[in-house]
Structure 1
């Protein structure tokens, strides 16, 4: 899956937070729901216009972002 086709950043939508394209639902929203204990099926029940692929794209976006984080140690 290429999350770049599903997640977009528009400075005019949600202050430029990464969102599911065509919605105002941010990656942060989805990650927050999952961190609070919701599973994919529960999110889909609450937001039937979303797809499983879109939710997985949010996870892929977060994983890719974490992969590019660099820790700088100062002495």
Structure 2
């Protein structure tokens, strides 16, 4: 099941950059954290507003088609 419905782009939030659930967490920033070696659990500890499915959606959105 796709989690991409969690990814939004709203003009008033982060200048239309894709974000997670309309929060001010750009997908690109989340992917950078994960690519830098942070685990999903560590990101969730550091950003309590996020949910595991948010990070999985970010990964899914950045995956090649």
- What TM-score does the superposition give when structure 1 sets the normalisation length? 0.78
**Which structure has the bigger radius of gyration?**
1
Higher RCO structure, 1 or 2 (CA under 8 Å, sep 6+): 2
Instruction: Compute the RMSD of aligned alpha carbons.
Output: 1.2
Is the contact made by 2:19 and 2:26 (CA closer than 8 Å) also made in structure 1? yes
Report runs of 4+ in structure 1 exceeding 6 Å deviation. Answer: none
Is the contact made by 2:9 and 2:22 (CA closer than 8 Å) also made in structure 1? no
- What TM-score does the superposition give when structure 2 sets the normalisation length? 0.89
| CA apart distance, 1:13 | 1.1
Q: Output the CA distance in 1 between the equivalents of 2:21 and 2:2.
A: 13
Q: Please list every run of 5 or more consecutive structure 2 residues that lacks an aligned counterpart in the other structure.
A: none
1:30-58 deviations in Å (ceiling 9; x for gaps) = 10101111010000000112111110000
